[in-house]
Amino acid sequence: MKLMQLVYCSQPFGYNLEILSAILIASRANNRKRDITGALICRSDIFLQLLEGPEQQVKSTYAAIQNDDRHINIYHLLDQNVDKRLFPAWSMKDDPVKTWMWSREEVSSGIVRTLSKAEIEEVFVKLSKEATIFNF
């Protein structure tokens, strides 16, 4: 089966813990059904998400996200075919943006849109290593 990874960023609209919990609960249930795994890095000013799984399922999930009014300023960063998943055990790993990420000023100035493919991959590879350590 052909696996695909897709990464996008967006601004949350109306971000709070209740909305984030609702997104995660729905995403995890839907992703399990679609054989999608991945991670959502989230903060009040940014969603940065990696989706991975069968190509058609990833594309249809991304299309649904593009029509979800909880996301604004959606920007497609990367898609690529891969041989294996970074988050095989996570229907949707969530992670509040850590201090090794960007400042609010950097995010508002558009730093995420300027990242290279290698820099985008590095963010999620690092998170996947943490997810493996703390997956219980």
Q: What is the CATH number of the domain that holds 48?
A: 3.30.70.100
Q: What is the pTM of this model?
A: 0.89
Angle at the Cα of 110 from the Cα atoms of 93 and 76, rounded to 5 degrees: 55
Per-residue pLDDT of the chain (136 residues; tens, 9 = 90+): 789 999 999 998 887 888 888 888 888 999 999 999 999 988 888 999 999 999 999 999 999 999 988 889 999 999 999 999 999 988 888 877 666 678 889 999 999 999 999 999 999 998 888 766 544 3
Question: What is the count of structural domains for the chain?
Answer: 1
User: How many beta carbons lie within 10 A of that of residue 86, not counting itself?
Assistant: 21
**Residue 21 lies in domain:** 3-134
